[in-house]
Structure 1
Amino acid sequence: MSHSYRLSAATGLHKGDRPYQQDQVIMLAHPRAKGCVLAVVADGMGGRSGGRAASDQVMLTAKQVFERYSPETDSAEEMLGNLVREAHLLIRLVAIAAEQEPHSTIAAFLILPNSACAWVHSGDSRIYHFRDGQLLYQTSDHSYVQTLVDQGQLTLEEARYHPQSNILLHCLGTAEDPPLIHHRIPMLKQGDVLLACSDGIWHYFSPDELSSITRLLSPREASQFLIERARMRASGSGDNMSLAIVKVEPLPAETSQAVVPGSKRAKAKPPVRS
């Protein structure tokens, strides 16, 4: 089908106040199918080398699985499921070979040439879907505090600052296979924004703030702003940060086909400290 929009995209990555970077992010345009885009965020855990090895494995697997994927004949959900399963298995093999305990979250969304979007996640990296400044849907964390929220024992605000907010119930690389939690957007529309990010970003913002920032700023500007503001709010104790943003925008008047620009990584400058 013909498109009536273009996709504007950017990624952001920063180590925050940690001595090393374990988050990774990637955004890929399909080599053969125009308008098909994959974005993946991975938050590695397991020590300096273990966590980075895990998130790197997610990125490598994403590239390989996406290269094999044919949107005309293959299921988007099956492709995303294969990405999770293969990355999980490879991280487990790294753990056996290196005698480490590498783990990683994943938050991945796939935009299809027919304007649909599918996503999958495991852990506490999130995906948000905004439309015209309103939150339509977000993932539910696979975490201990989320279960308390679901049971009515905590509010969402209390969960953000709970001392056990970093305990995950599911992620990649554990002894048990991660659950495959899928979601599908039947058709993207002008005014839609997709945001995938690690907890180093979302921990410091309400959904309303994220919605406003991504609506008012370009993806590149929003990436820079979110990283810099998260660092400021962390007050010297911030986690690694990674995010991918895609905005669905009107076509320029002189353009008649969809445009999917290459993603750009936002390199945020650290705030000046007095």
Structure 2
Amino acid sequence: MPLAIDACAAQHQGDRKEQQDRLAILPHAKKKGVALVVVADGMGGHTGGALAAEQVLHTAKTTLEHFAPAEESPRVLLENSMREAHTMIKASRFMNEKDPHSTAVMLLLQPGKVTWAHCGDSRLYRFHDGKLVRRTVDHSYVEHLVANGRITAEQALTHPNRNVLLTSLGGQEEPKFDFAEAEDIAGGDAFVLCSDGLWAYFDDAELGRVVAENSARNACEKLIDHARSRAAGSGDNISLAIIKLVDVPAEKPKAPVGFVPRLPT
């Protein structure tokens, strides 16, 4: 059955003095059905984080423009985007004397297939009919503790070191990337990309339910409203993109004008 895409990207500055996140849904200029979704959460003091996240977005746009799906793998596009952004952010340290770095999560949509990658703690969730299928694992200190059984996922939400990252773009060390791909996409699938300013206020079940019960646009509005309310005046920048795949019933062939069906005698 053919699929349609219901998509929306949304942001809120939260209670911060500056919006340092960047996000975009970028369609390929020449290839129908190909698009790149990007969320970057910049860090590094006044303006430094915004510049780092902007570099992630700029590099993603440039890489997508030169992407030839028939000749290149999706993973190469995603990795090249992140590595180039990492190099450029590091170089900017010498020009602006700041300490810029950024997380990144990217999703490449192609007909019949999706591929994603991330660095840091900006997340991608895959749901089907509201049920969690998969999510990225943060490159953070608390996720390391959870993976090793030292704390629970619930304890991680309030751990004092929950914002400590193990890798990022523009950091001193070479960044770490994780990749995944799915070729079993179908109607009812939904992908959510977001910064920690959003996911910190939801468990997987609630997030999936809101996305399943609403259009992409309405889900973005409700999730931001809930996050703002729960932040109680101390909320971080919020960025999220929702991509929902919707079945499109095939149209029945129409009889030609003037056609009279012949009945059996």
TM-score by length of 2: 0.93
Partner residue, 1:56: 54
Cα offsets for 1:122-151 (capped at 9, x unmatched): 000000000112111100000011111011
Q: 2:106 is paired with a residue of what secondary structure?
A: strand
| Deviates further, 77-86 or 244-253 | 244-253
Work out whether 1:226 is the aligned partner of 2:201.
no
1:217 aligns with 2:228: no
Q: Distance in 2 between matches of 1:61 and 1:187?
A: 29
Could you say which structure has the larger radius of gyration? Answer: 2
Cα shift at 1:252: 5.5
Q: Which runs of no fewer than 5 residues in structure 2 stay unpaired?
A: 254-265
Per the alignment, do residues 241 and 255 of structure 1 end up closer, same or farther by CA in structure 2, a change over 3 Å counting?
Answer: farther
Q: 2:11 maps to which residue?
A: 13
Match in the other structure for 1:193: 190
Indicate conservation of the 8 Å contact 2:2/2:249, yes or no: no
Match of 2:97 in 1: 99
Counterpart residue number, 1:251: 248
Q: 2:145 aligns with which of 122, 125, 148?
A: 148
TM-fit CA distance, 1:15: 0.6
Alpha-carbon RMSD across the aligned residues, in angstroms, is 1.4
1:28 match: 26
Q: Deviations over 1:194-240 (max 9, x none)?
A: 00000000000000011001100111011111111100000000000
The CA distance in 1 between the partners of 2:75 and 2:241, in whole Å, is 20
Letter matched to residue 26 of structure 2 = L
Cross-structure match for 1:240: 237
Match of 1:237, as an amino acid? Answer: S
Deviations 1:35-77 (A, max 9, x none): 1111000000001210000000011111100101011211000
After superposition, what is the alpha-carbon deviation per residue over 1:215-274, rounded to whole angstroms, capped at 9, x for unaligned?
001110111111111000000000000011100001265599xxxxxxxxxxxxxxxxxx
CA distance in 2, matches of 1:96, 1:209: 44
Unaligned ranges ≥5, structure 1: 257-274
In 2, Cα distance between the equivalents of 1:9 and 1:55?
22
CA contact (8 A) 1:107 1:126 kept: yes
Amino acid at match of 2:33: G
2:178 to 178, 181, 189: 181
Distance 2:8 2:28 in 1: 16
For this pair of structures, how many residues does the alignment match?
253
Q: CA deviation at 1:158?
A: 0.7
Counterparts in 2 of 1:38-187, with a 5 A limit? 38-113=36-111, 115-187=112-184
Residue identity (%):
44
The Cα of 1:186 is off from its aligned counterpart by 1.6
TM-score by length of 1: 0.90
**Change in CA separation of 1:255 and 1:235 when aligned onto 2, cut-off 3 Å:** farther
